[in-house]
Every structure is written in C-alpha cells, then in structure tokens.
A and B are shown apart, each in its own frame.
Chain A
Amino acid sequence: MSAADLLQEIRSLLQMETIAYTSESAADDVYEGFIFAQVVETARSIPTARVHFANGNGEPTKDLAFRLSPGRLYSSNPAFTHAVIELGSGIPQLEAHIGVTVRGATEVEHECDVLILPTEDADRCRQNRTSPQAGRCLLAVECKYYTNPLELSLAREFAGLKSDLGSIRYALFAANRGSPSVKKFLSGRNLHHELTLLPNAPSIPDLKWHIRAAFKKHGSKHNPAIDL
C-alpha cells in the first residue's frame, strides 16, 4: 500500500469518528473522571469506609452528572454529582468533586480538577454561595491528559497553582504521560506527582497511595484509633 493509499484509508476512518473525542475538553473530562474514580476506589478499599453519590441538594443518586467545564460547587443546578465519603466513626464526612473552583491564598479562584473537602465546608459553601478556601481542602488533583510528552510549562503552572493554594493539605499533579523534565522539575520542588497514569498502569497503586495519605491525615486528626 502506498502512502497515498494509507492516507486515504486514514481519512475514511477519521471521517467515521473513529476518534470520537473532538475536543481537548472532552478528553480532559474523561481523564478527570478516571482520576475521580481512583479516589472513589481508594475510599471503597478502606474497610471502615462507606461511599455513595449525591447531587447538589445532598440527595443520594445513582444517575451521575458531571460538568463539561469547570464550575462552582454552589451551582444553582443541583444535578451535579459528588461522592460522599465516610471514612469511619468520629471522622468528619468528606466529599469528592470534579471540576470545581477553590479560593487560593490571594482570594483568586482556581479550578481543581478533582477536589476532596469536608462536607461541613462544602455545605457552608452551598449556603453562602462561595467557593471553598483551599486551606480547608484535603486534596486537590491537577489532571493532565496529553497525547504527547508533557510540556515543562505544565509543571511550572502546577507549581504556581500550588503556591497560591498555599495551605491546602495535599496537592497532586497527575498525568497520563511521562517526561524527564517535568519529573525533575516537580521532584526538585518536592511537589507531589504521579505520571504515566493510565488504566492498569503500574503507577496506579502509587496514585492511590497519595489519595490514601490524604485520607490518613484527615482520619488521624479526628480519630487516631481508626487505622486507615
């Protein structure tokens, strides 16, 4: 087959929507959902924990709705779903969200691809129609889906984000690809990161270790007797 024939075949296949993700945001949406699912799986693996899904009114639901673009936790549309995580007795309940804004140290709002925070704080945000303070949040994950090696600028942006999130208890950079320069940059600044995160990748347990570390910090503060 000549290059011209191959190009013709590729044209026909692409026209049939063989790659059906027609925007970067659509690819990001499923990648953020994949990382969110790792949070849910990690919580579910803790023997004392219970997890369910709820909408913006706090009603349990099995029909999940996620945002197409970053929004606010206090959205007037109650359809958007979050995971409700109860780690164990005496430990304040948590919520995990996809694509919501938080307020940083400078009061500037930043998008967090995946965010875990106490339900008490989330309730306050819904009542007062404000975004949560980063310092009140347990974990923020910056998710990056890239078809190519990661650009160093993404790591630099994450360092800036982490700086403004200031007192957030745990911030993590999670990406589907690797890059020596990104790894070197983030490692050199002691910024938590996990790269090459894809389904069944060897790095998935490492991601779950970070998530569990965030849960442990929260649990040991409120009920050290429970071993998370």
Chain B
Amino acid sequence: MNVEELTSLETELRGLLTEAWLQWILTQVDAAVSEGIPEPEGTDPPDQALFGLPDHFGRARRTVSKKATVRSVPYTPQGRLELLISAIENATVELPEIHETFFKSLAQGSDDDTRPAAQSIVFLPDEDTRPLPAPPDLESVMSSSARFNRELLLEALSLLREEARG
C-alpha cells in the first residue's frame, strides 16, 4: 500500500473505534505516536520486540529532544497503522484475561476458611466523584459468543495488517 492508502485505512479504522465508543484507545495511540519510538541515548536502536511491533517498521527522520535524555524516532504511516492495529488487538486479548484473573484470584478460597473467597465483585461510584463507565460484567465478557467474536476480530485485524503490508 502507498502512503495515501495507509493513511486512508488508518482514518477509517480510527472512525470505527470512535463509533464503538473506544476513543480511549485512540487517545493512547495518539500519545504514543506523538512521543515517537523512544530510543535511549547511547544505545543501539531499541529492540522492536519490546514494543510488540514487528521489525520492518519503517524509520523516518531521527529527532533528539533537548529536554529529554531519550531520543525518539517518529512513526511512519505504516508504523502508525500497525500501532493502532496492535492497540486494538491488545485491548481485545488482554483486558478479558486481566479481568478474569483478578476475579478468579479473589474468588479462590480454602476449605478451612483461612482464605475466604469473594462471592461477588462490583464497581461503584464513590461520594463526590464524577460517575465513570464501569467495567463490563465478567460473565458477559467470558461468554462463548463474546470469546468467539474476539477470535473473529483478531483474525480480521491480522488480515488487515497483512493487507497493509501488501
């Protein structure tokens, strides 16, 4: 894909996240893009595996911040699109796993009651605080249909990445 096509694909994918009330992922992606790929001073270029990004990420002009002790490499259009795809994949895979581990860990008890188990876990607004969206119900997140949809989403994202790489 050329730069124009990559940028168009990125714009469309961003639009889908906005439609699905997932702007928070875009906010995190934008922050990462504005920071660039950090590169500690005096070291070789960073191992891309640390970022969960593939090796072939294009590198553009290197910039050196006078304030920071860390250099950064700007993302290319290809890099930005892949960063966005990775962010969606990470949110799709990691959050249900984290959620389930959190609940299961606290729900583990013992026969002699020296480790009492949690029976239910809820999130509530506190006094004087702005109500915020609550995490979803774990049961619905771990339902077979939700798991199946996550697999489909990951597959589609993987194919989109391949498409972008041409």
Same complex for A and B? Answer yes
Bound Cα distance A179, B134 (Å) = 28
Our pick among B35, B102, B156, B159 for the contact of A33 (Cβ within 8 Å) is B102
B63 within 8 A of A: no
Contact B116 A65, beta carbon cutoff 8 Å: no
Contact assessment for B159 and A1 in the assembled complex, using a CB-CB cutoff below 8 Å: yes
Given known A-B contacts A14-B20, A33-B102, A23 and B133 have beta carbons under 8 A apart: yes
The contact of A13 among B37, B121, B153, by CB within 8 Å, is B153
A226 within 8 A of B: no
> How many residue pairs between the two chains, A and B, have CB atoms under 8 Å in the bound complex?
242
Query: CB-nearest residue of chain A relative to B68?
Result: A152
Identify the closest chain B residue to A69 (Cβ). B129
The answer to whether A22 and B133 touch across the interface, beta carbons within 8 angstroms, is yes
- Partner of B130 from the list A26, A34, A69 (CB cut-off 8 Å) is A69
Pick from A117-125, A132-140, A142-150, A210-218 the stretch touching chain B.
A142-150
A37 to chain B, nearest CB (A): 4
* 8 Å CB interface, A36-74 against B: 36-38, 40-41, 44, 50-53, 60, 62-72
Q: Which of A76-84, A87-95, A102-110, A160-168 binds B?
A: A76-84
Whether B19 is near chain A, meaning CB under 8 Å from some CB there, is yes
A51 to B121, CA, bound (A): 17
Cα A3 to Cα B2 in complex, Å, equals 14
10 closest cross-chain pairs (CB), A and B: A71-B126, A181-B38, A20-B136, A14-B20, A37-B105, A147-B87, A148-B32, A24-B24, A199-B101, A33-B102
**Beta-carbon contact of B160 and A6 below 8 Å:** yes
Q: In the complex, are the beta carbons of A23 and B122 less than 8 A apart?
A: no
Q: Which of A6, A24, A185 contacts B163 (CB 8 A)?
A: A6
Task: Report B-chain residues with C-beta under 8 Å of the C-beta of A25.
Answer: 132-133
Contacting residues, chain A, for B28 (C-beta < 8 A): 24, 146-148
User: Contact string, A167-194, partner B, CB cutoff 8 A, digits 1/0?
Assistant: 0000000001111111011000000000
Report whether A6 and B159 are in contact in the complex, using a CB–CB cutoff of 8 Å. yes
Closest B residue to A2 by CB, please name it: B163
| Size bracket of the B interface | 35 or more
B144 touches A (CB below 8 Å): no
Q: How far is B118's CA from A115's CA once the two chains are assembled, in angstroms?
A: 19
Residues of B within 8 A of A79 (CB): 124
B140 interface neighbour in A20, A30, A199, Cβ under 8 Å? A20
Most buried by B among A13, A27, A31, A177: A13
The reply on A19 being an interface residue by CB < 8 A is: yes
Chain B residues closer than 8 Å to A31, beta-carbon distance: 98
Contact of B124 among A50, A67, A185 (CB under 8 A): A67
Decide yes or no: A152 and B25 within 8 Å by CB, A68-B125, A75-B127 being known contacts: no
Name B104-154 residues within 8 Å CB distance of A: 105-106, 114-127, 129-136, 140-141, 146, 149-150, 152-153
Q: Is A15 an interface residue (CB 8 A)?
A: yes
- Whether A128 is near chain B, meaning CB under 8 Å from some CB there, is no
The winner among A36, A62, A72 for most chain B CB atoms within 10 A is A62
Tell me, rounded to whole Å, the shortest Cβ–Cβ distance linking A143 to chain B: 11
Q: Contact flags (1/0) for B78-91 with A, using CB distance below 8 Å?
A: 00000100111011
What's the least CB distance linking A129 to chain B, in Å? 12
A20 pairs with B141, CB closer than 8 A: yes
